[in-house]
Amino acid sequence: MDFSKRLFIVLLEEDEEYVFINPEIIETSSDLVAYEEGCLSIPGIYTDVERPSKVTVYAQDIKGKNFKVEASGILARVIQHENDHLNGKLFIDRVNEEKREVLVHQYEKKCRRSRILHGRK
């Protein structure tokens, strides 16, 4: 059997763990909220990103059961951030081109500085 699975896991606190398999964001609110984001894909780089304040997600859980979540606040933001990864996007893809160029430059500078500090060229 050959099939594709898209998934992410959200752990907000010890008792708040969510598994989203083949998630689909089916609704977003029209109101946007800016909040600082960062990512392990681009360590040490942070910027405000505007995202809808609420989302409704349809997905499967770890047992394959379908479920729907209406999320707001940090959970809504994390769902959107992680879902972006499944679609090949990073948080810097959500800011304007000028800001993205500044962030990429900061990251490149950080990487060069790190190589110099660790004796690599």
Is the distance from CB of 93 to CB of 24 less than 8 angstroms?
no
Measured distance CA(69)–CA(29) in Å, rounded: 14
pLDDT value at residue 117? 62
Superfamily of domain 7-95: Peptide deformylase (3.90.45.10)
pLDDT value at residue 113? 86
Q: 3-state SS string over 3-55?
A: CCCCEEEEEEECCEEEEEEEEEEEEECCCEEEEEECCCCCCCCCEEEEEECEE
Q: Out of 27, 82, 97, 101, which one is annotated catalytic?
A: 82
pLDDT averaged over the chain?
92
pLDDT at 116 over 90: no
pLDDT value at residue 14? 76
Q: What is the mean pLDDT of residues 42-68?
A: 96
Q: Domain ranges in the chain?
A: 7-95
pTM: predicted TM-score of the whole model, two decimal places: 0.88
pLDDT value at residue 12? 87
17 flagged as catalytic: no
Q: 29: which 2 tokens? A: 């609110």
